[in-house]
Amino acid sequence: MLTLLPAFQDNYIYLLESPTGLWIVDPGDAEPVENFLQAQQCTPTAILCTHHHRDHVGGVRRLAERYGVPVYGKGPLIPAQTVAVHAGPLELDGESLQVLEIPGHTLDHVGYLWKNYLFCGDTLFGAGCGRIFEGTPALLYASLQQLAALPDDTQICCAHEYTLANLHFAATIEPHNAAIRHRLEHCTHLRQQGLPTLPSTLAEERASNPFLRCGEPSVIAKARSLGAQGEDTLSVFTCLRSWKDRYQDDSHPYRFTTSSN
Ligand SMILES: [Zn+2]
């Protein structure tokens, strides 16, 4: 069973109950996790970290100490880390996971795939992708391509509720894309009811996420009009990502210094 715990302004902390364990993904804050575990009377077995940003790891040390569980992550910036992960299979509580190295937002960014659940942190968002803080456009694009190669029904468990704002941006890139319009309506309805727009599926992302559609003629044409250096997918991606960095959506005020989006 998958649980999304809202944290801070727009983060989600994921709790995934496997047949043999309970895994916490990206606990930026310990308190909502502790409250949930207490209410449900259950104990976690592991903490999985996608990258070192504070809104993903701020609660790790407190939870690891309180519950005495191992902490998985790549690189030395993950607090209280006990297991350094690398691309490839990972055995956890007797279950088989796959670790994907997906740098670009940060250099230590990884994703965790268990069955069809993908925990991708701040690399791929609903209808968007992470901001480039430590990598290059080429690095992030290669990471997104790696995720885009997963099956259609992959559940995209990303760490922020940015989908609506991203869809408004996507609609400016592809105003005639019906999948974007439908998703915008659907997600608007969900948010009005206070419900999350996540997880999405990879099929939905392929249809409506401009950062996975850099080879589409409509996206190439728009990128050219925005000053893309060429028509190859990396030039298109680089242009869209930099345009998004400067994009201001009046209905979703843009927070330059804090947004991961
Ligand atoms: Zn981040």
pLDDT tens across 209-257, in order? 999 999 999 999 999 999 999 999 999 999 999 999 998 655 444 444 4
Distance CA 110, CA 112 (A): 7
From ligand 1's centre to the CA of 122, what distance in Å? 5
Strands 46-48 and 71-73, bridge-based pairing: parallel
Cβ atoms of 139 and 167 closer than 8 Å: no
CATH code for the domain of 36: 3.60.15.10
Q: What pLDDT sits at residue 137? A: 98
Is-catalytic flag, 168? no
Q: What pLDDT sits at residue 258? A: 52
Mean pLDDT of 67-76: 96
Residue 127 inside a domain? The answer is no
Is-catalytic flag, 122? yes
- Assess whether pLDDT exceeds 80 at residue 36: yes
Mean pLDDT of 161-189: 98
Task: Return the C-alpha torsion angle 70, 76, 77, 80, nearest 10.
Answer: 30
Asked whether the whole model's pTM tops 0.85, one would answer yes
Residue 81 inside a domain? The answer is yes
Residue 41 inside a domain? The answer is yes
Mean pLDDT of 39-57: 97
Active site residue: 51, 52, 109, 168, which one?
51
**Domain boundaries, position 69:** 1-85
Residue 189 burial (C-beta neighbours within 10 Å; 0-12, 13-18, 19+): exposed
Mean pLDDT of 41-56: 98
Per the structure, the count of domains in the chain is: 1
Is-catalytic flag, 56? yes
Residue 45 inside a domain? The answer is yes
Residue 122 inside a domain? The answer is no
From ligand 1's centre to the CA of 142, what distance in Å? 17
Active site residue: 52, 109, 160, 168, which one?
160
Contacts of 154 (CB under 8 A, 6+ apart): 113, 116, 117, 118, 201, 202
Number of helices (H) and strands (E) in the chain: give both, helices first: 9, 14
Query: Position of tokens 């790549």?
Result: 74
Residue 94 inside a domain? The answer is no
**DSSP calls for 74-116:** SSTTSTT--EE--SEEEEETTEEEEEEE--SSSTT-EEEEETT
From ligand 1's centre to the CA of 201, what distance in Å? 21
Cβ atoms of 69 and 44 closer than 8 Å: yes
CB atoms within 10 A of CB 52: 21
Residue 56 inside a domain? The answer is yes
Residue 8 inside a domain? The answer is yes
Is-catalytic flag, 51? yes
Is-catalytic flag, 108? no
